[in-house]
Structures are given as structure tokens and as C-alpha cells.
A and B are shown apart, each in its own frame.
Chain A
């Protein structure tokens, strides 16, 4: 039985829950968000990813209602949110600092939003208990925020923002304050809770691994613009720009001139070297002007390393190992090509370290298939 793939963005009959329509936000002379259009669908776990100052938090604050767009429209559930204050939106936010109320117990923190809805007492109590169970906080209900650990505080903040059963939950760097191990655990917990509650989540993060792990789709942002919106796999395998390729994971960029050749392109990258080849998968359309400047992006793990020139491969280049980074499970070889370009090749350490075939100053051959590399215009 095939599980239907969750991809409402590919279904033209689906109506997006959130629509940014030509949204611009300026603070004085500074343009934080520059004329952006973006759709987010119900039940999505949507990540806004980018370096600090890229405008991702501003996008989120506009959804919460703390900021109003200077130009353009934001629609939630088809309704224009212009002038709707935060307290009248069916949107809740989990703050980066958690913003727990220090004078209230964990229980009262979670009940805070429910009290504002004027629910009957027994319903309210049942809902708080449910939230405590969902976030495994029942034992700590009577404690004050300063009496619990960072991870527990994070869960209180989550429970509090989920208690009102919002249509949309915004998470501002929700795991930033946790240590690595706890963060990884919490990521899966978040996904689990998102699935259980069926709430649409929008997460803001600068951590690409976190975005890749949790999100159904990622919007990579830079300087107030969304550069690419796609699933984690597409973002990684088929970035639409050098910026995205470089921001997500490790990448080798080889600069050259592209020329159409059959179903693919031929890239002349250095004098006296054989041109590199790339073939495009169906559906990937990148317009490269004939003979124009192009960038070839190859992930290090897709580059194979050989002692002798490999035969029958689409791309093979010779270089010298400058550095070897041993990461335990992986080793990364930094190889300098004839024209000075550095290319990293990553191999899994399936054998013991002592048996490693290559070392510093070795002359080696690197190869990759014609579909491994992505040709980018900029």
C-alpha cells in the first residue's frame, strides 16, 4: 500500500493557508523584506532558513502580527491580516527566549492563553493536563520556570503556544538554547507533536541541519529575499543558485564557461584540461547563456577518489592532496587541481585508518558522474 506523499504545494487545487503577496517591510531606510511572495499550506512544517539578518524573523513576526508589512498583503486562511492585532489571530508563537512568565507556575503558564478564551473551568483544566502529557511535563506542573531545566522550559513554551490549538504555530529558533544532543532529540519530538496535533508549523532557524531534519519544505533566505523554496531533498540535490548550494551543506564550486552539448552541457574550466560534462535531470531547468559564465556545484560525497585515471567516467580531473580531514566516520580529502581550484572529496571510512589508501601530497584522480554535478548560472 502506497502512502500518499504529502505535497500540497504540487496540487493546484489546494488553497494555501498562508499567502505572502508582494510583501515588503522597511524599517526606516533598511529594507528587511523585499517584495516577497510565498505560499505555505495547511499541515506543513515549513522552515525559514537563512543567516542572521536575512529577514526570516521579520517574516515570522509579520505572521504573528507584531510587525505590519509596509507594502503587500499577508493572508491567513484567505483573510487579509492587515490591522489584525496579535491577540486576535489564530496564530501562536514560541519565542526564542521562551518568554515564560516568571511569576506563574508551569501549569499557569500553559493555562494563560486558555484563560483569555473564556473556556469553562473543567475544559480548561483538561486541556492543560493534555498539554502537560503531550510535552511530558505533568511532574513539573507546580514548578516555576526558574526551577526547571532549559529543555523543560522549551517544552513549557511549546505546550503554552499549542494550548490554544492555533491554526498556525510559529517557532522562532526553538532549539537554539539547547545543547546538541538534546536539540536532536527535540527535533524529532517536534515533528512528532506536529504530526499528532496536525498544526501548521513555521520554524525560523539558521541551522541548516535542523531545517533539513524537521521541515517538509524549506525557504532559503538572504538579504530580505527568498532564494529558493523546496523540499529538503530538492534544496540539497538541486539548489537553484550558488548561494543555496553553498549555504546548505558542503559543496565544491568549479567556475567555467558552459556550452550546450547534446542533452547536457560541456564546461570548459581550465586551459589544457578536458571539459567537464553535466546532464540535467528532467524537470530541472536552468537557463545558461551559451558560452556564458557558469558554476558547477558538486557535493563532496559525490566525488570519488582514485589512484589511477578512471576509465569510462564522465568527469575525471587530476590533483594533489593538500589536506585530509578525519571525521571518524568520514574522511574529507582536500585536493588542489592544476589551476588551483580546491575540490573536496569525501569517502566513508569503511576500513581501519591504517589501511587508508591516500595521504598528504599524493597525486590522485577525482571523478563524478554527469548527473552528480549541478550547473548554476550564479
Chain B
């Protein structure tokens, strides 16, 4: 009974703060837009009893989802988001793995400090850190000034308001989520395994690919999902750094909701986004489960 109570707490939490809001969003996505408060119909009128409930369900349809497939803007935005999230995740892995590897190889007394340095950016507001990148990447920014000063380029590079700026922003912001799980996996790696591989005829490089990489795979997968999932729905970074040419679904969602005040379409966009995210989330949880079983 006590066990049941303990287990039910997180499930109750999820029910109240995830499932119920999701059902509300799902309901709105099936509604029609209206000039009213709230700006959609139908609304549930319990005062009319059974007839009211029937009328309510009769008013729901999949019109908004059909609309999403008809207007190329939406699927282009989804595709572009997937592309940006995939590329950013790959870049974050390429940057994060060496950092995590370096941390795991560092002497014991340094590791806490290195870990602190990785987490440190979180102590500043996310928004301020993204704004700071505008100062660095813009045409008159520090990066261009520096490159012109050392004579590498004559005309400033256009980075701001391109996808490159979005990649930089996402990789920078989500890098700790990539580093920490990989570091946790690499830190546990027994050095004698690498020695054994060397003893059995591997060069160090080969031992790295045959042992270090496969044994840190759970960390790599966890890190990739932790970057990919938020990057896919990212709104702030493409808005601030990507300019108008970067199409991302988070931005579309915001525009539908606040500019067009079309709550039903915005909700439909959100529901589809969630459906896209659920696939990697399920894969991620499978991976976690496997890892736990292997650890037994």
C-alpha cells in the first residue's frame, strides 16, 4: 500500500500537469476559431446537461489537421525543424564528446572544477546568453571585428539571421546536456579494459573505437535525445538569431497563437509536434531501460 502511494505521486503529477493540459490542447485543436473569449468554439456547457455534451462533441472535427497538410508552410516548417535539430545534435555531439572525453581523462582533482565550468552558463539567464550571441555574431559584432583585425577577412561575414547562427545558438545552449551524460558514461569506463584491448593487439585508436565508443553509447544516445528534443521545438533561438528566413515550427506556433490569435491551428501544430517528439522519446526510454537491464 505504501509502495502504491509512493509510485502514484509521480503519476498523479504527470496526470495533473501533463495529461490534463494535453487533453485541453487536443480539444482546442479539434475546435473552430471564433471571435470570442476564449477564441474558439464549441465550449462545454454543462448546464444544458446531456444535450450540451452531445452538442459539444458534434462541434469537434479534424479540420485544423487537414489545414496543416494543405498549407506547405507547415510541413516545410516541420521538416526544417527536424533538419535543424538533427544537424545541431550532430554538431553538439562532435563538440561535446571530446569535451566529455577530456573531462573523464583529467586528473581526479580537476574533474569537479571542469564539471562546474560546464554547468556554469546555466547560472545566467538563457535569454541574456542568446542576446550575447547577437553581439558576437552580428555584422559589426566581436567575431567580425576580430577576424578583420587579424586580417583573415576583408568584408564582414554574414552569420546573423542565418541557419548557421541558429546552429551556433542551439549547440552553445544545449551543449551541457550532451556533455554530462557522455561524461557520466566515460567516467565509469574501467581503464584496464583499454589496457586489455591494447594487450590483445589493438592500437590505442582502435581500442577507442572498439571499446570507448560502444561502452559510452548509452551516454551518447541520452545526450543526443536531450539535445534533439528541445532543439526540435526551439523558439527563442531561431527568433533571435535566425531572423525571418529560418523556418522553425516553434516560431510558427508562436505566430499562430499570438499574431493570428488562431488557437485551434496553433494547438494542432503543437499536437503534431508532440507526436513527432513522442517517437524519439519512446526510443530514448527504451534505451534507458536496456541500459538499466544491462547494468543488473
Contacts and interface: CB of A to CB of B under 8 A. Distances in A.
B214 interface: yes
Contacts of A87: 198-203
Contacts of B214: 103
Contact of B200 (A66, A92, A144, A146): A92
Interface string B206-228: 10000100110000000000000
B117 interface: no
A95 B196 contact: yes
A249 to B, nearest CB: 32
Contact of A99 (B190, B201, B203): B190
B190 A86 contact: no
B196 A116 contact: no
Contacts of B147: none
B198 A86 contact: yes
Interface in B164-214: 190, 192-193, 195-203, 206, 211, 214
B3 interface: no
B294 to A, nearest CB: 7
Contacts of A97: 190, 192
A85 B201 CA distance: 9
Question: Is the contact region of chain B dominated by helix, strand, or loop, or is it mixed?
Answer: helix
Interface in A82-129: 85-87, 91-93, 95-97, 99, 101-103, 112-113, 116-117
A160 interface: yes
Contacts of A144: 294
A220 interface: no
B296 interface: yes
Given A99-B190, A103-B214, A103-B215, A116 B201 contact: yes
B199 A93 contact: yes
A116 B215 contact: no
Contacts of A25: none
B75 to A, nearest CB: 39
Contact of B201 (A95, A101, A146, A164): A164
Contacts of A96: 192
Contacts of B192: 95-97, 99
A123 B197 CA distance: 21
A64 interface: yes
A160 B195 CA distance: 14
B200 A95 contact: no
Contacts of B199: 64-65, 86-87, 91-93, 161
Nearest to A85: B198
Contacts of A160: 200
Question: Which of A87, A91, A97, A160 has most B Cβ within 10 Å?
Answer: A87
Question: Which of B200, B201, B211 has most A Cβ within 10 Å?
Answer: B200
A332 to B, nearest CB: 40
Interface string A153-166: 00000001100100
A66 B199 CA distance: 9
A95 B197 CA distance: 11
Contacts of A86: 195, 198-199
Contacts of B215: 102-103
B257 to A, nearest CB: 46
A225 B291 CA distance: 46
A116 B202 contact: yes
A103 B247 CA distance: 42
A91 B203 CA distance: 15
A99 B198 contact: no
Nearest to A88: B201
A113 B197 CA distance: 8
Given A101-B211, A103-B214, A164 B200 contact: yes
Contacts of B211: 101
Nearest to B201: A116
A371 B231 CA distance: 85
A206 to B, nearest CB: 18
Interface string B22-42: 000000000000000000000
A91 B211 CA distance: 21
Contact of B195 (A95, A101, A113, A116): A95
B202 A99 contact: no
Contact of B296 (A99, A113, A146): A146
A74 to B, nearest CB: 16
A290 B110 CA distance: 60
Given A101-B211, A103-B215, A146-B294, A66 B202 contact: no
Given A95-B196, A116-B200, 20 more contacts: A64-B199, A66-B198, A85-B203, A87-B198, A87-B201, A87-B202, A91-B199, A93-B196, A99-B190, A99-B192, A99-B193, A101-B193, A101-B197, A103-B214, A112-B200, A113-B200, A116-B201, A160-B200, A161-B200, A164-B200
9 contacts: A66-B195, A86-B199, A92-B200, A96-B192, A97-B190, A101-B211, A113-B200, A116-B201, A116-B202
